[in-house]
A and B are shown apart, each in its own frame.
Chain A
Amino acid sequence: DAKTTQPPSMDCAEGRAANLPCNHSTISGNEYVYWYRQIHSQGPQYIIHGLKNNETNEMASLIITEDRKSSTLILPHATLRDTAVYYCIVTWAGSYQLTFGKGTKLSVIP
């Protein structure tokens, strides 16, 4: 699986959009970009995933650059409950071993 690089920490004001970047410059054509988050040692929570196109669901939007070498997770209106560690994971469709790096610790500030 391709390696990912994320900033170790970010702050976001409550109610504003949180934009979390991820670099995956060695991604191959059949690899997906997944985002999970872990709130204070709870189980990781699936957020969203994508291959080439931008994706949106009730939790977030995923913007993948045209060359697929980076992506951004967008939480449109961050709340205090979004404070968590966010993991960007690149994995191919047949893989079952998710590789969790250190992620980005997002702090939403009142």
Chain B
Amino acid sequence: QKEVEQDPGPLSVPEGAIVSLNCTYSNSAFQYFMWYRQYSRKGPELLMYTYSSGNKEDGRFTAQVDKSSKYISLFIRDSQPSDSATYLCAMSEEYGGSQGNLIFGKGTKLSVKP
């Protein structure tokens, strides 16, 4: 079963807050985990890309993967109004073919208020 669960929100936070976005999944074969940011009426933009378990940091963004719990997170520090967007998690298995296709969560809509 290839299912990814993501709370759709909306999530509203004040500027400067730490934001935590999460996804859970059921397929233990997933190895690659991605976060995309999508502004209204635009295409998704790849934000973070991680392999297997662990943390990855890029500026104000930190991605965490806990494969034992089948749980991934994206943290945004010092959130800015420009971070207001929908955040999509996506994941795929190791190998190519249909198993290598991305499975997306439904997205969490984030609003950062000045």
A and B found bound together: no
Task: Give A residues with C-beta under 8 Å from B.
Answer: none
Task: Give B residues with C-beta under 8 Å from A.
Answer: none
